[in-house]
Chain A
Amino acid sequence: MVPSDGGFPHGTLDSRLLTNLRRGALEYCVLALLRHGESYGLDIAHALSADGVLITSEGTLYPLLSRLRKSGLVATSWRESAAGPPRRYYKLTAEGMAALAAFERTWEPFRNAVDRALKGAR
């Protein structure tokens, strides 16, 4: 078996920087994905790993989901699936909704400030 050694599909992106940047933002991306309805693990994983920026190893999603559930920001329920055994679906709680809104209020000015600084505007 060939383990992934953090090999990154985008040769130009610094994986160390990415790891640091994801911290603190990734969980809100998960919450945001659940904003318009519940979803299951594989679906969330695919959505987040599609461009290889937010998640490189899909497995890292699951400890995150577990923590979000423990802290009450998402709730899980079992649902029958068309083919195969029942799956657990993740759903945003009221607390999760509030957390997401708080993040958005903070993120926009933060992102704008970083962009301005990077562009050298005064």
Chain B
Amino acid sequence: MNTADRRIAEVERYIHELAIALSGLPADEREDVIASIREHIDDSLLAIADPTPADVQRVLEGLGDPLAIAADAGAPAPSPGPTHRPSAPSAPLPGGASSPARTAGSTTAPAAAQAPLLEQEWVPMAMVGSFALAGALVWLGGRLGVVALTLWLVGLVILFAAPLWRTTEKVVGGLAFVIGPSVIVGLGLGYAPGGGVLYEFGSRPFELMMPRGFAPWPRLVEFGTSAFVVVAVVAAGAWLLARGSARAREAARRRG
């Protein structure tokens, strides 16, 4: 990918995240906001002779987090709620010159709009918790069970469905939580006593921590690999928890 392509991809990803974040706004308002933000980006980049990806990054950072923009815009959640939520009280308009529609809206507007389900502050904890619980179950039980697999899937669904993580963060998390456990389980099954049981789910994957009848060398490699993977996955989880929580708090603050 050349520099120009990377620039465009970066901008399109931002616009895409913004469109998702704003999906609760009326269509015409959403289109309007997206078009004018696109214009802002184009105008900013036109002013630079030969914009680098770092320039693009700076422009996008100046615009701010799409979720924060949506929260400020009072975008109601794209949720199945039966009632249409009025926009957040960030646009009080003067009594003197106000239209009837506006006055009606302002009297019914709640003090603070409720955050959409997957933007609430417990969501990052639930995501990381699902993975942690799944890991603990496999570790302690010594086998892959339906409960652990379900929890793992729940964690993945939350990670990808919640708007609390940026695209890059979702990708990093997806890689960590898919590849990490696969490597560990794969190692465990591969080294299970008897060998050749890669397809057998219940064959004590965590024998890998104390494989019987193996020379010390492969044991060391195996232990080192799984220790490294575990540390990497835990670090990724902690990072995603921190990012997601920060964004949920920020969104709540802007709403309230």
Choice from A23, A63, A66 contacting B89 with Cβ under 8 Å: A23
Q: Is the CB of A83 within 8 A of B46?
A: yes
B99 CB-CB contact with A under 8 Å: yes
Cα distance A24–B94 in the bound complex, in angstroms: 9
A71 to B18, CA, bound (A): 23
A5 proximity list for chain B (CB < 8 A): 65, 246-247, 250
B253 within 8 A of A: yes
| Contact (Cβ within 8 A) B60 A1 | yes
Chain A residue at smallest Cβ distance from B42: A84
For the complex, give the distance between the alpha carbons of A72 and B100 in Å.
Answer: 13
Given A19-B253, A58-B64, A60-B69: A41 touches B36 (CB 8 Å cut-off):
yes
Contact of A56 among B43, B64, B102, B166 (CB under 8 A): B64
Q: How far is the CA of A84 from the CA of B250 in the complex (A)?
A: 36
Residues of B contacting A: mostly: helix
Interface size class of B (residues with CB under 8 A): 35 or more
Give the CA-CA distance A104 to B10 in the complex, in Å. 42
Contact (A41, B97) CB under 8 Å given A6-B250, A23-B92: no
Shortest 5 CB-CB contacts between residues of A and residues of B: A57-B64, A63-B73, A59-B63, A59-B69, A42-B43
> Given A3-B166, A4-B61, A16-B253, do A63 and B43 touch, yes or no (CB 8 Å)?
no
* Per-residue B-contact encoding for A13-42, CB less than 8 Å = 1, 0 else: 001100100011001000000000000111
| B29 and A57 form a contact (CB under 8 A) | no
Chain B contacts with A in 1-19, Cβ cutoff 8 A: 10, 13-14, 18
Q: Across the interface, do A3 and B247 meet the contact criterion of CB distance under 8 Å?
A: yes
For residue A2, CB closer than 8 A to chain B, the reply is yes
Q: Indicate whether B196 reaches chain A with its CB closer than 8 angstroms.
A: no
Q: Does B55 sit within 8 A of A, measured CB to CB? A: no
A residues near B (Cβ < 8 Å) are 1-6, 15-16, 19, 23-24, 27, 40-42, 45, 49, 56-60, 62-67, 69-73, 81, 83-85, 87-88, 95, 98-99, 102-103
B108 at the interface (CB under 8 A from A): no
Q: Is B203 an interface residue (CB 8 A)?
A: no
**Are B63 and A58 neighbours in the complex by a CB distance under 8 Å?**
yes
State in angstroms the CA–CA spacing of A5 and B250 once bound together: 7
| A33–chain B nearest beta-carbon distance, Å | 15
Task: State the CA gap A71–B44 with chains docked (Å).
Answer: 28
Instruction: Name the residue in A6, A41, A102 with the highest tally of chain B Cβ atoms < 10 Å from its Cβ.
Output: A6
**A2-B61, A4-B65, A67-B91 known; A88-B39 Cβ under 8 A:** yes
Do the beta carbons of A66 and B97 come within 8 Å of each other? no
Closest chain-A Cβ to B40's Cβ sits at a distance in Å of: 5
Encoded as 1 (CB less than 8 Å from any A CB) or 0, chain B from 48 to 89 comes to: 000000000100111111111100111100000000000101
B27 nearest CB across to chain A (Å):
12
Closest to A63 in B: B73
